[in-house]
Structure 1
């Protein structure tokens, strides 16, 4: 508590800087561009852990049959610069773990690109893939040089933005009132059983900071069947080692607690660049303790996989757990998709 009090002056200074920056965009002093190609932005007010990757994957799955879809991300954690498009040679070092996951999952069905300057990346996508009709802008909320046609704000149920504070006191990148830019709010990682009374209470708190009557929908985490390194469906053994390098591994670990006995949890920072020595350490622990499974998330596997060829893992299996976003209420999902369809059709009509 004392530390938070000491950090407040820094939060105040940071908050004023961000407020001034946003004000300059709001009054048009700083330029923000809206492209002719349809764009849907996905982002949050906090520093991570809201489920952007499953949200973008959900949107891709719903629109890839109807549109020529592309995704544009910053490519956080990559060691390259500028514009790049994913291909079969790409690694997490080249384009980042999240874009690599998009490419690994959807392959040739969509275009996956990265550029730290989204305003530069969109024209590049259109130059290389002129047939592109819809671009999903990943983690775009604070990148205000691009003004998407539709902006989706994510916030978690257990740590909502309205109950959080600006950095470094809390985890917010900007004021709660940044939510006014959102066209819809998705509450992620909600309990599967959520009463209407709790929903109403939650919505009231959100609507204090958004535009009037912005739709608010509730989603939860979906866990499909785990797979092995070859993509074949696997079941969990009774005991396992868990490795995570994601912003908030608590939901993942809670899911596994009812399925397998986690004997050891190696927890790393979000987007951690795993090394062969890390993999060797996990394998040594498994061999010493007669364990055969190392459980990882799909996102972490993007950064772990290249290092497995450098070590002997024949006695230990990697179990990869896909994680998805699911709407709690089917009627809310239908309303959300209808809203997106309406806005996209409106873009087509000019």
Structure 2
């Protein structure tokens, strides 16, 4: 953080205190039962964060899908950030990022054959709609719902980025927190995401000690594993310099991975959930030409939007990612989640 940004954040601290007071007051209304909270008789697993974006919620949601879908019929529910529609919506083959949101569309394109993917701003109203449309659903996964207090989940998972932990941050606008750090006390478990594979037991203990003043929940540690780039169109090849295109809250890991694996010509970094236009594609293609007409690498979230703009002979590739949990935890995350949620994997 540069000196000017540090000074600016200090000047904004009084506004962060005010913002923190407002979110504390809102939370107190739920805690004291003055604002209604709805619970349901089937497992509802919520995942979210205290920080504005960048903790890896969607890859962790996909981890839960891979863990649970072989044994249970699942539905996912998110707000559908960035979509131009409103209200409850069930994903179909006709949906786009504009009608569904980029991350729900990504989930639908990967898991839509077995998972019921839905969006809806008001989760407490959307869940009964899911149960009516899909009576067979045995569990619902809520994406980015940590601050959505109108629903009482059976399991509340809080993610925090290893590189930007919540306990070093401040509420908006001096920092990136959606509420004060003590909001972590609502978590049933805390997942420290994007950890390096070399994280030592001593480092884990230090992180746990820094979390302890804010939450007594078990702490798990996860990392990101990148797969081999996959061509959006099968008749293209990845040769020469690569141009990176991303619309992420924190693109540093994506860029570091590419720098280690390939010869990177340039990284075009757009804002999180960026809605690409034909003009943006013209810029990408121009940069690609200036760097020797090699290939372009993007993320799964960006690919669902870019591929509608890309000619079939253009070498656009997407890198898949998966979450894994670091070993040596006192608790195994999979076993803990199944026990906490009341879900029991069917024996073969």
TM-score, normalization by structure 1: 0.93
Tell me if structure 2 keeps the 8 A contact 1:240–1:292: yes
Query: What value does the CA root-mean-square deviation take over the aligned residues?
Result: 1.8
Specify the SS of the correspondent of 2:232.
Answer: coil
Q: Which residue of 281, 284, 288 corresponds with 1:282?
A: 284
Whole-Å Cα distance in 1 between the matches of residues 242 and 312 of structure 2? Answer: 15
Say whether 1:45 aligns with 2:46: no
Aligned to 2:230: 227
Whole-Å Cα distance in 2 between the matches of residues 289 and 197 of structure 1? Answer: 44
The unaligned stretches of length 5 or more in structure 2 are: 1-5
Tell me if structure 1 keeps the 8 A contact 2:75–2:141: yes
Whole-Å Cα distance in 1 between the matches of residues 291 and 241 of structure 2? Answer: 10
Aligned to 1:130: 135
Whole-Å Cα distance in 2 between the matches of residues 40 and 230 of structure 1? Answer: 36
When residues 63 and 15 of structure 1 are mapped into structure 2, their CA distance, relative to the original with a 3 A threshold, is same
When residues 225 and 180 of structure 1 are mapped into structure 2, their CA distance, relative to the original with a 3 A threshold, is same
Q: Which residue of 334, 339, 346 corresponds with 1:337?
A: 334
Say whether 1:59 aligns with 2:56: no
Whole-Å Cα distance in 1 between the matches of residues 249 and 35 of structure 2? Answer: 31
Aligned to 1:321: 319
Deviation at 1:117, TM superposition (A): 0.7
When residues 276 and 26 of structure 1 are mapped into structure 2, their CA distance, relative to the original with a 3 A threshold, is same
Deviation at 1:281, TM superposition (A): 1.5
* Aligned positions, number: 340
Whole-Å Cα distance in 2 between the matches of residues 326 and 303 of structure 1? Answer: 26
Deviation at 1:313, TM superposition (A): 6.2
Tell me if structure 2 keeps the 8 A contact 1:223–1:323: yes
Deviation at 1:289, TM superposition (A): 3.3
Deviation per CA, 1:35-78, whole angstroms, max 9, x where unpaired?
A: 11210000000000000000000000000011110000000000
When residues 273 and 345 of structure 1 are mapped into structure 2, their CA distance, relative to the original with a 3 A threshold, is same
